[in-house]
Amino acid sequence: MNRAGLLLAAILLAAAACSRKPEPAPPAAVPSSNESPAPAPVPDIPATLTDVNVAAADMGGAVEELTGHYNALQANYGPGLTGRRLIDGLQDPAWTNPADWSPNRMFSKSWGWAAYPAEAVFSFYERMPALVGGVTVVAPAAPSVELRDDPSTAPKEVEVWTSMDAQPEHFVKAAAATLETTPGEHPITFAAREARFVKLRVLSGASQRVLEIAEVHVLEAARDGYIPLFTRAPGAHSWKGSPREGAQRGLDWLQQSAVDWDEGAQECVGCHVQALAIMGQQVALEKSYRVSFPALDMLVSRIRVRETAEGTWVGGSEVGSSAFAAMALAHANEITNKAQDPHLFRAVDFLLKSVAADGSVPAPNDEPPILQGETIITANALVAFKWAAAHSKDPKYALAADRALGWIAASEPVTTQDKTFKIISLMRYGTPDQRRMAWPIVETLAAEQQADGGWKEATPTDGSNAFATGQVLYAFKRAGVSVSAPNFKRGTDFLLRTQVGGPAPDAGSWKAVHTQSQRRSDFAPTMWAVIGLAGSYGPDPVGALQIARGGSSVPARNLEILLDVSGSMNSKLGDGTRWTTALGVLNDVLSTLPDDMNVGLRVYGHRYSSRSAQTCSDTELVAPVARLDRARLSAAAAALKPRGETPLIRSILETLKDLKSVKGGSVILITDGEESCRGDPKMAAARIKASGLNVQLNIVGFTLTGETIKAQLNALARSTGGRYYGAQDGAQLSRALKLAAMQRLPYDILDQTGRVVASGETSELARELPPGRYQVRMTVLGEALQASAEVSANETTSLALDVEGDRVLLRERR
């Protein structure tokens, strides 16, 4: 059976189980790398039982599903909100079935009575197989509730079943036992066998009202030739506190809480509850997380049953709720390979009526941050349009998708959510050129990371939160940013640091803080934190390839041009002067800069003559660093007249003040002469370093011939990670300026078959790639460059774009 068939079977089984409450539902099927059509005979393998608990949560063990845990309003999905207590290594608090038991409900048969048999299915680190030979059930030291007649809440009659996959019919009984109902450990041993899943069935307990278990241990066995699980899987030792563990705990909370919210007499489709929970489950499945298929089925079913005949849903708005619900159904259909879905087609047909002339789906109301602007609504509708286009011959769906994507590509993002959804949409559905458009937005978001490692929903908000940070990490991942990139690591650390811990029912969630929302809910931040982590961290090792500009890292979007307007620029050069040549080259270079760059202009030597006492303080910021405005910069330069001396060092140091507000950047100094106002280049280098500002100085010596001054300027530039470039005419000046200005240049990464597997722009952000050998191709100033790169697991390979004289080189950076 293929994966889609397996998942569909799981959902059908879960749906059948849910329809016959309060009988316990069978554990849901999960993807297995060792599928078998029937249970294999279990040989009696001579083995020695150890005390190694392979199901311990701290070592990657998990509760896949709990059944037999029902009350009037709640069923368990996955391990639920308290299921981890079975394997958390802490005997207090114990897992309680039912979890909402209280003394005033002890005589009610609709509330607070344990349902037998109660089943718990356990798995091990990354669902790897282990040789198991025993299960220890730990009864609590004392009941956590007061019972009038029953002295104990411990389990009594139990069975142990094992399987190599989680399909119910493949489980084989390993043992049956009647346990003492006293506190403490109660071991159950059986003939050792390899298994990926172990099921504990509790057929009865000392109490009919409440069942409590402090801990369950699944014990590994040893025999000749068998390699212990934690030897084969050294990653299990670092599981606790890892991104995957955080994502799984968040998913466990999310699945149960979303269904509880839905079942709690809620009639609307919550954009940030059912819809994003389904998206989160689909994203998690792609990375082999433990997803509760009964929860998925319940959420999908509730969306379908609430749809109106017009293809709308009740919620914050018809268009908004319909876009979210349609997006969710498209994600659900990807899981099951569902090709026909009248509910989704009905929703898409409704959304088509709302599409504006420019291709966007207008936001009917504004409720930040969930419904905030047109980007989120249009992006969700795009997912549904694309699904409909792939499963229908009607061209209207493809046309709507193309128009929506075109609008997203052309839109100007404002909030963090706008930027992330633009990246996600372009990377998932865009053309190669559209996907390239995503990278400058990635750089923008990287620059907006806060000091604590997180991101804010929007500029005016007070601080970082999990909602925005999860969105950014998922967008980074869709753009191909490596999880080993410093920005990614800091964002991940922020999420892990702010996740709720401990045994409380809200453990695993993220709190709504620093949010624009007027209806604060932990669903939205938890869902995006789960999507960001689960969508980024998979079980397989990956490597990274960084393609950056040589030299130190500087904010790629900020550039200040420092222009010499001293009297010597009036000297003749060709048919004009050095000044007229510089102005023409400046305009040529401005035309090649990316539109999203921030560029400023400082000049010196333009206001006072050489005989003036003020000439050595003559430096002025004529255009502050701001979004590139070519006409403004060109006009500001054209209005100047060369006059005075060369306060070169003073002007360089003034650029530190100019760039402080934008947290650093590159400076390009264009000068035709040496310092004439007693400035000290060595002092300037020390001042720049002491400032702590991330600044890179590149110097273009225009018509300079003296070797001493060139050596001094070269030393000053290199102290900041920059370079000195020489130019003797207009053509050389143009090339030197472009080489100095280039920060982000497009590249393609090809695999060994010649297929382009990634595209981007030079950056300090590394690209994530599977281990292997790749070719990197790019064009710089009309010159084709190519280099090979070997990417290894859990390592970053760096290629640097370097300049040697007039040559541009792409080579491995050591």
In this structure, what token pair is assigned to residue 61?
């063990």
pLDDT band of 13, cuts 50, 70, 90: very low
The fold for domain 243-539 equals Glycosyltransferase (1.50.10)
**Where in the chain are the domains?**
3-236, 243-539, 544-550+744-812, 558-741
Q: Where are the beta strands (DSSP E) in 207-351?
A: 211-213, 215-222
DSSP state of 169: G
Residue with tokens 């280049």: 681
- Domain 3-236 classified CATH 2.40.50.140? no
For residue 186, the cross-strand partners are 137
Q: Which of 362-366, 486-490, 682-686 is least confident?
A: 362-366
How many angstroms separate the CA atoms of 376 and 369, rounded? 10
Instruction: Provide the pLDDT for residue 109.
Output: 41
Identify the weakest region by mean pLDDT among 48-62, 216-230, 550-564, 767-781. 550-564
Residue with tokens 């006492």: 613
Is the pLDDT reported for residue 526 higher than 90?
A: yes
CATH architecture entry for 558-741: 3-Layer(aba) Sandwich (3.40)
Query: What is the total residue count of the chain?
Result: 814
Q: Given the DSSP bridges, would you call strands 746-750 and 772-780 parallel, antiparallel or unpaired?
A: antiparallel
CA–CA separation, 321 and 376 (whole Å): 12
What is the phi/psi pair of residue 667, to 5°? -120, 130
Q: Is 558-741 the same fold as 243-539? A: no
Residues 525 and 466 sit within 8 Å (Cβ to Cβ): yes
What are the pLDDT digits (tens) for 20-77?
333 333 333 344 333 434 444 545 558 999 999 999 999 999 999 988 644 434 567 8
Contact 254, 82 (CB under 8 A): no
Q: Which helix (H) or strand (E) holds 560?
A: strand 558-564
> Strand 796-804 vs strand 783-791: parallel, antiparallel, or unpaired?
unpaired
pLDDT digits (tens, 9 = 90+) for 330-347: 999 999 999 999 999 999
Task: List the single range of 134-138, 272-276, 292-296, 574-578 with lowest mean pLDDT.
Answer: 272-276
What is the distance between the alpha carbons of residues 300 and 319, in angstroms, rounded to a whole number? 19
Q: How sure is the predictor about 102, in pLDDT bands with cuts at 50, 70 and 90?
A: low
Q: What is the mean pLDDT of the chain?
A: 88
Segment 742-775, tens digit of pLDDT: 777 889 999 999 999 998 888 889 999 999 999 9
pLDDT band at 18; cut points 50, 70, 90: very low
The DSSP code sequence of 396-431 is HHHHHHHHHHHHHHH----SHHHHHHHHHHHHHH--
Q: How far is CA 717 from CA 11, 565, 696, 780, in A?
A: 64, 20, 8, 22
At residue 539's C-alpha, the angle toward residues 538 and 544, to 5°, is 60
What is the percent of the chain with per-residue pLDDT over 70, rounded to a whole number? 89
Residue 509 token pair: 């969630």
Cis amide leading into 46 (omega within 30) = no
Q: What is the CATH number of domain 544-550+744-812?
A: 2.60.40.10
Express each pLDDT in 494-505 by its tens digit.
Answer: 999 999 998 888
Residue with tokens 């669903």: 523
Dist. CA 239–CA 646, nearest whole Å: 61
pTM over 0.85: no
Query: What CA–CA distance (Å, rounded) separates 515 from 131?
Result: 48
CA–CA dist 706, 692 (Å, integer): 32
